[in-house]
Structure 1
Amino acid sequence: MTVFKGFVRVLSRNLGFVFIFTAIMVVMGLTAYQAPPGGAGNFTADKPKVILINQGSETALTRAFDSYLRQHTSEADVKSTNREIDDALYYEALAYAVYLPPDFTDQILKGQEPTVGIKTRASAQSASAEALVTRFLRLATGYGKYLTDEDELVKAIESSSKLSTDVVLTSELDTKTLMLTKGLYNFGSYTLMAGAIYVITMVLAAFAEINVRRRTIVSSANPLRIDLNLNLGCAIIMLLLAALNVGLVSVLIPESWATGRGGLFALNTFVFGLPVLALGFLITKITTNKEALSAIVNVVALASSFLCGAFIPTHLMPEAVVAVGRVLPTFYYIDNNNALAQMTTFSGAAANQFWVNIAVQIGFAIVFWIASVVLESYRRRA
């Protein structure tokens, strides 16, 4: 009971740090990640913004290309200068810019593939625009090998462009909600790790102070039982903070449970708490200086989040950075969140990878725990 009272007293002194990070997560959820009301996550028509710049004379073929793009894309309110186009692409006011060479029509009529200039940036709208532009150019190039009359060529292209294929959705996943849920859980890896490790290390450091240790040695309490109580208390803290993380996501994005993936997201979060808990123990075996612990916690939490994709998606980072992130448990936690938001069904190879990542996180917890035991035994011998 004495250990428990002391544990609660030390814990209460450090709860402010947890409240701060909880508030940060709430703010992020209410702004960047809050799902707009009425969103069902269904597919809707979204025309990309494309600009066509003809560097040669106007012909029937270039007019047909322009008409085709106007029909399938949105007109971008952008001037044709390089500066204006670059700025529009950067600020996502434009998805795709197509530059037709002066001899565009001649190349097509000769059955040659035209050298079309392109300016774009990585986005879903850019990919859609690229598919539309590629379709027209392939039709034009293909017909150009057999038709030498420009008017006949345009008619053939227009006839083929009108052909359409019915698309049947085999999955009705609420992809929009899943992406929002994934984003908030990924950001939560930082708040969970920083908040949990800070509280755990501060509590363990308080009990590791020389005066407290001396009282423990001369008391009638069993040292092993004291350590067990401390470990159990820290585990309860980790469990409560992980539950708080899941609860916040459920409140901010209640639709996440309707997707059928809410339980798997929660499971992944609670498992992630294991290596976080073990890492907290390991850090306190390195030092019990509270100032040093505070700095270490910030460095570990921020570095882990940046390297593993919590703030910036891994596909936008250099491969060398991603390789470094793979040696951290946060990488596998975030990888599971990303997979849950993208997989159409939880089965097969995708499900196997999810459980592999769960096992890897548990493996990190075991390694951190063993390392902390080894360091503690070394310190006692020293």
Structure 2
Amino acid sequence: MQVFRLYFKLLNRSLPTIVIYIIVFLVIVVGSSLNAKQNNEKMFKESKVDIAFINYDKNSAFIDGLKDYLGSRCNFKEIEDSKEAIQDALFFRNVSYIVTIPKDFTERFFDGEEVKVQKLSVPESTDSVFIDMAINNYFDKVKLYINHSQSLSEDEIVKSVMKDLSSEVEVEFYSKTAKEEDSSFLINYYNYIVYAMLSTLILGIGAIMISFTELDIRRRNIVTPLSITSFNLQQILGNITFTLGLDVILILFGFFLNGKVLVSQKSLLFILNAVIFSIVSLSIAYLVGILVKSREASNGVANVIGMGSCFISGVFVPKELLGENVLNIAKFTPAYWYTTTNEAVGKLTNHTLENYTGIFQNMLIQFGFAISFFAIALVISKKKSVEVI
């Protein structure tokens, strides 16, 4: 096993650079995962909106009730009652919404007339929708009591409406997949493996292949007692060992970061997809090792392929933000099909053979890339072997 031992002696030379790439990968993953976790943990919470309330009507229980109801959802700001002051308040975002109650509004409203409050808001503001819903909700409840409880006074109607509006209902969402784990961490983590796999394997295997494929070294190996078949088998065994070792390290890192998530049915599919992609990365690294002639060139290729694949395949930039032309180009890269598989696995709700069909098809496409790269590498290697003689 001389070649096998030599393989890992050569790998040790590239170990510092490989470790740097793995550390960069971990920093990116941890930062992304923590950010995703914070976003997932954020629950909807009503935030109070700054508004101004201008009343030209007389003081009444109806208007006071509206103001009290809005006060539970808004912060009232005092502004000068002039056109210029109102425009300035909206322009400088001192308030997001200004509601003006016109004269005789209460009387006309209780008489059944179609009356409206005057509203001004910041253009295209979501806050305005929030306030509109609150105002309409209050008015609709009051109209309901006016139409069906004529015997009640204005004060009694307002008290009943405020009591109704203060009631809260607890809502629970139920689905058959309610207990399914949140896959956001798995998708993020395994997507970023694209960078670690490609960069690390190209650096490691590329550097080793460069050493083995130097013309003088190949000529010397030919005259040794070791057969070419044994030499190649030991080299292949070294490549497989290095690749599987990297798989184990990256999977264990993911387990360390979030073990509860990784122990799941989906995680097995993510791991299987990662192992398949590592085979693709191995084929790319093998091809690069045959083509390039220096370690400096190998480092450059590792950066270009690793970073380039991440940018166009949906790792660093979500696919939703990429143009159609970019995605069409990305389909010619195995990283695209790898990340697409991860996203499909993350969306799984029912683990049936029908749902697995598209996932397994994407994995087969990745295998096709691996076979193609290996085939090209063997053809080039065969041509280069002629130069040895």
CA offset digits 1:144-187 (Å, max 9, x no partner)? xxxxx9x99xx99x989979694432112232xx3123222222
Q: How has the CA–CA distance of structure 1 residues 35 and 311 changed in structure 2, closer, same or farther, with 3 Å as cutoff?
A: closer
Distance in 1 of aligned mates of 2:351 and 2:40: 19
Other-structure match for 1:278: 283
CA offset digits 1:78-125 (Å, max 9, x no partner)? x9666769xxxxxxxxxxx9768999x9xxx599xx9984247xxxxx
State how 1:20-99 maps to structure 2 within 5 Å. 20-34=20-34, 45-47=43-45, 49=47, 51=49, 67=69, 71=73
Q: How has the CA–CA distance of structure 1 residues 352 and 50 changed in structure 2, closer, same or farther, with 3 Å as cutoff?
A: farther
Other-structure match for 1:118: 124
Other-structure match for 2:209: 204
Other-structure match for 1:225: 230
Q: Is the CA contact (8 Å cut-off) linking 1:35 and 1:180 kept in structure 2? A: no
Other-structure match for 2:221: 216
State how 1:331-350 maps to structure 2 within 5 Å. 331-347=336-352, 350=355
Q: How has the CA–CA distance of structure 1 residues 31 and 217 changed in structure 2, closer, same or farther, with 3 Å as cutoff?
A: same
Q: Is the CA contact (8 Å cut-off) linking 2:208 and 2:289 kept in structure 1? A: no
Distance in 2 of aligned mates of 1:358 and 1:378: 31
Q: Of residues 160, 163, 180 in structure 2, which corresponds to 1:173?
A: 180
Which ranges in structure 1 are unaligned for 5 or more consecutive residues?
A: 86-96, 121-128, 144-148
Alignment of 1:251 with 2:256, yes or no, is yes
Q: 1:259: Cα distance to partner?
A: 4.1
Report how many aligned residue pairs link the two structures: 351
The TM-score with structure 2 as length reference comes to 0.70
Q: 1:53: Cα distance to partner?
A: 6.2
In the alignment, residue 181 of structure 2 is paired with which amino acid?
A: D
Other-structure match for 1:323: 328
Distance in 2 of aligned mates of 1:318 and 1:80: 40
Other-structure match for 1:301: 306
CA offset digits 1:50-92 (Å, max 9, x no partner)? 747679989989x969957955x999xxx9666769xxxxxxx
Q: How has the CA–CA distance of structure 1 residues 239 and 52 changed in structure 2, closer, same or farther, with 3 Å as cutoff?
A: same
Which ranges in structure 2 are unaligned for 5 or more consecutive residues?
A: 77-87, 106-113, 142-146, 148-153
Computed over aligned residues only, the root mean square deviation of the Cα atoms, in angstroms, reads 4.8
Q: Is the CA contact (8 Å cut-off) linking 2:309 and 2:333 kept in structure 1? A: yes
CA offset digits 1:232-277 (Å, max 9, x no partner)? 2112111110111101000111112344322222111111101101
Distance in 2 of aligned mates of 1:327 and 1:58: 67
CA offset digits 1:28-53 (Å, max 9, x no partner)? 455442599xx9x9988422547476
CA offset digits 1:345-381 (Å, max 9, x no partner)? 3336643222222112111111211222232334446
Q: Is the CA contact (8 Å cut-off) linking 1:193 and 1:301 kept in structure 2? A: yes
Q: How has the CA–CA distance of structure 1 residues 100 and 28 changed in structure 2, closer, same or farther, with 3 Å as cutoff?
A: same
Other-structure match for 2:12: 12
The TM-score with structure 1 as length reference comes to 0.71
Distance in 2 of aligned mates of 1:169 and 1:56: 44
CA offset digits 1:176-210 (Å, max 9, x no partner)? xx312322222222122211121011111110112
Q: How has the CA–CA distance of structure 1 residues 55 and 67 changed in structure 2, closer, same or farther, with 3 Å as cutoff?
A: closer
Percent identity over the alignment is 19
Q: Is the CA contact (8 Å cut-off) linking 1:34 and 1:252 kept in structure 2? A: no
In the alignment, residue 250 of structure 1 is paired with which amino acid?
A: F
Distance in 2 of aligned mates of 1:351 and 1:377: 39
SS of corresponding position for 1:327: coil
CA offset digits 1:297-321 (Å, max 9, x no partner)? 1110010111112222222233332
SS of corresponding position for 1:5: helix
Q: Of residues 187, 196, 201 in structure 2, which corresponds to 1:191?
A: 196
Distance in 2 of aligned mates of 1:99 and 1:305: 44
Q: How has the CA–CA distance of structure 1 residues 196 and 133 changed in structure 2, closer, same or farther, with 3 Å as cutoff?
A: farther
Q: How has the CA–CA distance of structure 1 residues 42 and 294 changed in structure 2, closer, same or farther, with 3 Å as cutoff?
A: closer
Larger Rg: 2
